[in-house]
């Protein structure tokens, strides 16, 4: 079978891989679509994401949907019947560490996450014609949710988690810095949570137009201080650009005592930020990393909201993986790009 493998910085290949077979407790899934994530792009362009560095070839991909093929011993009872369309929850937390015991498995200190170089050996991802995962990680898609829109389940879960980390947003003005796919999904998640107003900043008009289609009430050119849509103050700010300037914008615009959630993965190492604003305005600065139960909430939301289709800007066959990555990396031309493993 074919898979999309990152061998090092700038070295993305479509390789012939051994066909996997499910072991005890595992399921075999025929992958149909895989969403190209910012972290996949980071592995491709920089050889790592955040503080995780690539140290061996790795199948990329953690935004994966497809169809159940078969189960290993004892696994069929815990997953939907073969032939069922499913989304794959990409995380397998250890269940034993203090964070898991405390009910925060998304920050598990020994988790396995599809297509991640956080641990060695790396956890191979789902950008392949077939993937084996623990059967308990499959989620059957409800009626009305097709595989293409369902491919947004993982990034929407990330967005829902970030909004949950912000606390109460109902009736409040939320700022989102960064209108990439995650930023756009944060807009949708904030509106779904009852935000009264969502303002989004980005450098690119095309990205801001995607944010508007996701439900943003106002969009702002981040490089234009005279843009009349800049808010004087917001209640909550969610940083989804992964650059220090975005965090600076959030800290300067959130009201005193407000909440700033850092969702975007910042460059490796240390980042400068306006720490004195955190002190003098008693801003609550919180991180948001991946998700847990939000995966089921994301699937339920996608099933009833066809508007999400507008965020899938291209579907590219696996054989053209490198051009798919180039397209996904060019936010002046794309929002969420899917690889098609079933063509």
Cβ nearer to Zn ion, comparing 79 with 105? 105
Binder among 22, 66, 93, 115 for Zn ion (CB under 5 A): 93
Owner of token pair 């910012």: 38
CB of 288 vs Zn ion, minimal distance in Å? 18
Give the C-alpha separation, 249 to 252, whole Å: 5
Give the C-alpha separation, 297 to 33, whole Å: 20
Q: Single out the segment in contact with Zn ion by CB under 5 A; choices: 72-80, 90-98, 171-179, 295-303.
A: 90-98
Q: Single out the segment in contact with Zn ion by CB under 5 A; choices: 61-69, 107-115, 249-257, 278-286.
A: 107-115
Cβ nearer to Zn ion, comparing 94 with 315? 94
Q: Point out which residues pair with 170 in neighbouring strands.
A: 195
CB of 103 vs Zn ion, minimal distance in Å? 11
Contact status: 108 vs Zn ion (CB under 5 A): yes
> For the chain, how many residues are written?
343
Give the C-alpha separation, 335 to 38, whole Å: 11
CB of 97 vs Zn ion, minimal distance in Å? 3
Give the C-alpha separation, 72 to 85, whole Å: 18
Q: Which parts of 208-247 interact with Zn ion (CB under 5 A)? A: none
Give the C-alpha separation, 32 to 29, whole Å: 9
The count of residues interacting with Zn ion (CB under 5 A) is 5
Contact status: 97 vs Zn ion (CB under 5 A): yes
Binder among 100, 141, 283, 335 for Zn ion (CB under 5 A): 100
Site pattern 46..85 for Zn ion (x: CB under 5 A): ----------------------------------------
Contact status: 94 vs Zn ion (CB under 5 A): yes
Cβ nearer to Zn ion, comparing 105 with 242? 105
Contact status: 203 vs Zn ion (CB under 5 A): no
CA nearest to 158, candidates 295, 55, 304, 342: 295
Q: Are 44 and 12 in contact (CB under 8 A)?
A: yes
Q: Are 238 and 163 in contact (CB under 8 A)?
A: yes
CA nearest to 194, candidates 175, 211, 215, 172: 172
Sheet holding 284-287, edge to edge: 218-221, 197-202, 173-177, 234-239, 254-262, 284-287
Cβ nearer to Zn ion, comparing 100 with 160? 100
CA nearest to 176, candidates 227, 221, 220, 240: 240
CB of 295 vs Zn ion, minimal distance in Å? 17
CB of 95 vs Zn ion, minimal distance in Å? 6
CB of 94 vs Zn ion, minimal distance in Å? 3
CB of 91 vs Zn ion, minimal distance in Å? 10
CB of 111 vs Zn ion, minimal distance in Å? 6
Alpha-carbon dihedral sign for residues 224, 230, 233, 237: negative
CA dist list (Å): 159 to 212, 219, 228: 16, 18, 27
Cβ nearer to Zn ion, comparing 91 with 174? 91
Encode 172-206: b = buried (16+ Cβ within 10 Å), e = exposed: bbbbbbbbbbbbbbbbbbbbbbebebbbbbbbbeb
Q: Which residue is nearest to Zn ion (CB)?
A: 108
Cβ nearer to Zn ion, comparing 99 with 296? 99
Contact status: 91 vs Zn ion (CB under 5 A): no
User: For the chain, how big is the Rg over CA atoms in Å?
Assistant: 20
Cβ nearer to Zn ion, comparing 108 with 240? 108
Q: Point out which residues pair with 94 in neighbouring strands.
A: none
Cβ nearer to Zn ion, comparing 100 with 185? 100
Cβ nearer to Zn ion, comparing 56 with 110? 110
List residues binding Zn ion (CB under 5 A): 93-94, 97, 100, 108
């Amino acid at each position: 079978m074919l898979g999309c493998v990152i061998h090092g910085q700038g070295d993305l290949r479509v390789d012939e891989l051994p066909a996997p077979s499910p072991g005890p407790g595992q399921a075999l899934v025929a992958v149909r679509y895989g969403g190209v994530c910012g972290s996949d792009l980071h592995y491709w362009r920089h050889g790592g994401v955040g503080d995780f560095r690539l140290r061996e070839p790795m199948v990329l991909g953690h935004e994966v949907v497809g169809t159940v093929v078969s189960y290993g011993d004892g696994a069929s009872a815990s997953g939907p019947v073969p032939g069922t369309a499913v989304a794959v929850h990409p995380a397998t937390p250890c269940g034993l560490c203090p964070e898991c015991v405390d009910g925060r498995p998304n920050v598990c200190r020994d988790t396995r996450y599809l297509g991640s170089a956080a641990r060695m050996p790396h956890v191979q991802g789902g950008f392949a014609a077939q993937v084996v995962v623990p059967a308990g990680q499959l989620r059957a898609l409800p009626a009305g949710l097709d595989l293409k829109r369902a491919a947004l389940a993982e990034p929407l879960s990330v967005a829902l988690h970030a909004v949950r980390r912000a606390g109460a947003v109902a009736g409040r003005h939320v700022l989102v810095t960064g209108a990439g796919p995650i930023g756009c999904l944060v807009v949708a998640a904030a509106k779904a949570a009852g935000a009264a107003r969502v303002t989004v900043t980005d450098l690119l008009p095309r990205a801001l137009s995607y944010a508007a289609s996701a439900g943003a009430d106002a969009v702002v050119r981040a490089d234009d201080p005279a843009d009349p849509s800049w808010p004087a103050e917001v209640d909550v700010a969610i940083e989804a650009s992964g650059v220090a300037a975005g965090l600076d914008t959030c800290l300067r615009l959130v009201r005193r005592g407000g909440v700033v959630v850092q969702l975007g993965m910042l460059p490796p190492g240390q980042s400068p930020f306006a720490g004195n604003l955190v002190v003098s305005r008693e801003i609550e600065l919180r991180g948001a990393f991946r998700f847990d139960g939000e995966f089921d909430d994301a699937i339920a939301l996608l099933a009833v909201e066809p508007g999400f289709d507008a965020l899938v800007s291209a579907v590219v066959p696996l054989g053209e993986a490198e051009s798919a990555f180039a397209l996904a990396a060019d936010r002046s031309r794309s929002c969420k790009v899917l690889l098609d493993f079933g063509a």
